[in-house]
Amino acid sequence: MSGHLFEAMSLTGFSFFSFTFAVLYRHLLRSVAMKKRLSIIFGLLVGAMWTGEVVSGNLGGTAVLGNLRETHPDIYGLAGWLALGAVGMTAVGGFLAGYRSGRTGSALRVGIGSGLISGLITLSALATVIVPFHNEMMKDPSNIREFERGAHDVPSEAELSRFIYSDGLAGGLNHVWIGPLLGITVGGPGGLAGQWLRRSANATRQRRQLTQM
- 15 exposed, middle or buried (CB, 10 Å; 0-12, 13-18, 19+)? exposed
Q: Higher pLDDT residue, 85 or 12?
A: 85
Beta carbons of 120 and 176 less than 8 angstroms apart: yes
Domain that holds residue 45: 3-212
User: Distance (Å, rounded) from C-alpha 159 to C-alpha 140?
Assistant: 14
Q: How many structural domains are present in the chain?
A: 1
Measure CA of the first residue to CA of the last residue in the chain; give whole Å: 69
Closest CA to 175 of 123, 126, 128, 111: 123
- Residue 31, pLDDT > 70, answer no
Residue at 168: amino acid letter: G
Lowest mean pLDDT among 136-140, 159-163, 202-206: 202-206
The pLDDT score that the predictor gives to residue 115 is 93
Closest CA to 111 of 171, 181, 21: 181
Q: Higher pLDDT residue, 203 or 24?
A: 203
* Mean pLDDT rounded to a whole number for the chain: 80
Q: Higher pLDDT residue, 152 or 51?
A: 51
pLDDT tens string 173-212: 999 999 999 999 999 999 999 999 988 888 788 877 777 7
> Within 10 Å of residue 97's Cβ, how many Cβ atoms?
32
Percentage of the chain exceeding pLDDT 70: 81
The pLDDT score that the predictor gives to residue 187 is 93
Residue 62 φ/ψ, nearest 5 degrees: -115, 170
The pLDDT score that the predictor gives to residue 75 is 67
Tell me the pLDDT band of 42, cut-offs 50, 70 and 90: very high
Lowest mean pLDDT among 37-41, 130-134, 149-153: 149-153
Full-model pTM: 0.78
User: Distance (Å, rounded) from C-alpha 10 to C-alpha 5?
Assistant: 9
Mean pLDDT of the 104-130 span = 90
**3-class SS of residue 11:** helix
User: Distance (Å, rounded) from C-alpha 44 to C-alpha 17?
Assistant: 9
